[in-house]
Amino acid sequence: PEKDLENKTIEDVFDDEVLDSNFWLYWRTMFAFENWHSALEMKRYMQRFVHHIDGLPDLSALRFTRYNQYESMILPMVKYLEDHGVKFEYGAKLEDVQFVIREDEKLAQSITVKRDGKTETIPLTENDLLFMTVGGLVENSAFGSQTEPAKLDDNLSDDGGWSTWKKIAKQSDDFGHPEKFCGDVEKTNWESATVETLDEEVFPYIKAITGRDVLTGHVVTGGIVTAKDSSWLLSWTINRQPQFRNQPDGHALVWVYGLFTDREGDYVKKPMRDCTGEEICEEWLYHIGVPEDKIHDLAANHCNTIPCMMPFVTAFFMPRQKDDRPQVRPKGSKNFAFIGQFAETPRDTIFTTEYSMRTGMEAVYDLLDIERAVPEVWGSAYDVRDMLKAAVHMRDGKPLTEMEMNPIEKLAVKEMLKKVKGTDIELVLKEYGAIPEED
């Protein structure tokens, strides 16, 4: 139960048999889990995506937008909302919310906003609705350049998303505990880089690994490629090219990221966080098999690499308990709700677009008393077919009857198979590979 996993880390629960496995390599690099992250969230992920276990070896479960996600998803939504009268204000920052809290109700009374450098307080009534995100995965993110490293900035500003949440949280225990998530950047940071190839000189090395041409307009890697022996645990991916509508012809964009930014590289003998874009590109080229005498020239003259350091990008993975994130609509709320990655909604997993959408739908439907159901999280963990399929694929396709068993267990399985022979249960067990087909 989740209650028993509160405040525990993944390595508190799993031993080296799991943490040294190929499964964990796939899982951690796909979702950016670290060994010290939340066992509770790991449980949610495994239950949430157990029906995709068979798609791990070839990443066939993944889907990709035609262009980058901003142009493919965000811009169309912004255009739609603007056409329907929604006003977006840029250069505005929510700094604080003032609440009136009574025994059985909570009312957002006013908000403090900084716009164009000026701070103002806006009063709210019961008829106003306030939907707010708290925390911030990309707060303090910093870009470097081809010749400059991206700086790791762990100082929380007074007007940032974490500071705002801390001010809000002081007013009620129902508003969460932000310090659980933003207190240790060494456990929440990683660094990414965008490599822009300026010509086709690097393409043969990519094709040698993926088996695919880069500029066909089709997905190139089908997911991330991880250099298993990389000291940074470096992963990279190339989606459909062009990734941006105005991307120059002949150019391709590669997204690279490393989970261990404090470790010395295998080719560049520096921690990733201290490397320029060019040096990160050199490390990537080394791991995709470029001969060492060509690495520097390709990184310096045929690529342009922009690193990005994100101190809080996995903050939501930190070990937590139930009340550390506020409910979407806290108990007694009259006119406000929390949305986004640090609001609590049951069973779904953070670090997904769907999680943010689901919290938004819950907030709107609840506060506006709309009789419409939020789509249910797919209950794969409660579907015997998905569980059978997952159990078999976790054993590399071997039937469950071939597991190591003592004589008593073997006898019990033998008797079970006799009882289900000729029934639908036997057919289901065979269909999903749990027992072998008869000769």
% pLDDT > 90, the chain:
86
Least confident of 25-29, 234-238, 279-283, 337-341: 25-29
Q: Is 184 exposed, middle or buried (0-12, 13-18, 19+ CB in 10 A)?
A: middle
Q: What is the mean pLDDT of residues 203-218?
A: 96
Q: What is the mean pLDDT of residues 425-437?
A: 93
Q: Is the pLDDT of residue 58 over 80?
A: no
- Residue whose token pair is 């007074």: 158
| Strand partners of residue 106 | 101, 333
Q: Is the pLDDT of residue 347 over 90?
A: no
Q: What is the mean pLDDT of residues 46-68?
A: 86
Torsions phi, psi for 111 (to 5 deg): -125, 145
Contact call for residues 182 and 162 (beta carbons, < 8 A)? yes
Q: How many CB atoms lie within 10 A of CB 156?
A: 20
- Residue whose token pair is 């261990």: 260
User: Pairing relation of β-strands 336-338 and 130-132?
Assistant: parallel
Least confident of 62-66, 83-87, 275-279: 62-66
Torsions phi, psi for 14 (to 5 deg): -100, 145
Q: For residue 46, give the nearest of 70, 13, 75 by alpha carbon.
A: 13
How confident is residue 193, by pLDDT bands cut at 50, 70 and 90?
very high
Distance CA 369, CA 129 (A): 12
Torsions phi, psi for 8 (to 5 deg): -100, 150
- 240's tokens: 């459909």
Least confident of 190-194, 206-210, 435-439: 435-439
pLDDT the model gives residue 57 = 76
Which amino acid type is present at position 274? D
Average pLDDT, the chain: 94
Distance CA 287, CA 224 (A): 14
Sheet holding 225-226, edge to edge: 142-143, 303-310, 190-197, 252-258, 234-237, 225-226
Torsions phi, psi for 183 (to 5 deg): -90, -5
Largest Cα span, the chain = 79
Contact call for residues 272 and 310 (beta carbons, < 8 A)? no
Least confident of 290-299, 336-345, 429-438: 429-438
Answer yes or no: CATH 3.30.9.80 is held by domain 190-310. Answer: yes
Q: What is the mean pLDDT of residues 249-262?
A: 97
User: Pairing relation of β-strands 234-237 and 336-338?
Assistant: unpaired
Distance CA 122, CA 89 (A): 15
- Residue whose token pair is 């801390």: 166
Strand ranges (DSSP E) for 106-177? 106-115, 118-123, 130-132, 142-143
Q: Is the pLDDT of residue 119 over 60?
A: yes
% pLDDT > 70, the chain:
100
How confident is residue 278, by pLDDT bands cut at 50, 70 and 90?
very high
Q: Is the pLDDT of residue 285 over 50?
A: yes
How confident is residue 376, by pLDDT bands cut at 50, 70 and 90?
confident
| Strand partners of residue 226 | 235
Contact call for residues 104 and 332 (beta carbons, < 8 A)? yes
Q: Is 227 exposed, middle or buried (0-12, 13-18, 19+ CB in 10 A)?
A: buried
∠209-261-38 over CA atoms, to 5°? 95
Q: What is the mean pLDDT of residues 271-287?
A: 98
Q: What is the mean pLDDT of residues 165-177?
A: 97
**Burial 52-72, CB ≥16 within 10 A → b, else e:** bbbebeebeeeeeeebbeeee
Q: Where are the domains of the chain?
A: 2-48, 190-310, 399-439
How confident is residue 14, by pLDDT bands cut at 50, 70 and 90?
very high
pLDDT the model gives residue 439 = 41
Which amino acid type is present at position 245? R
Q: pLDDT digits over 16-50, tens only?
A: 999 999 889 988 998 999 999 999 999 999 999 99
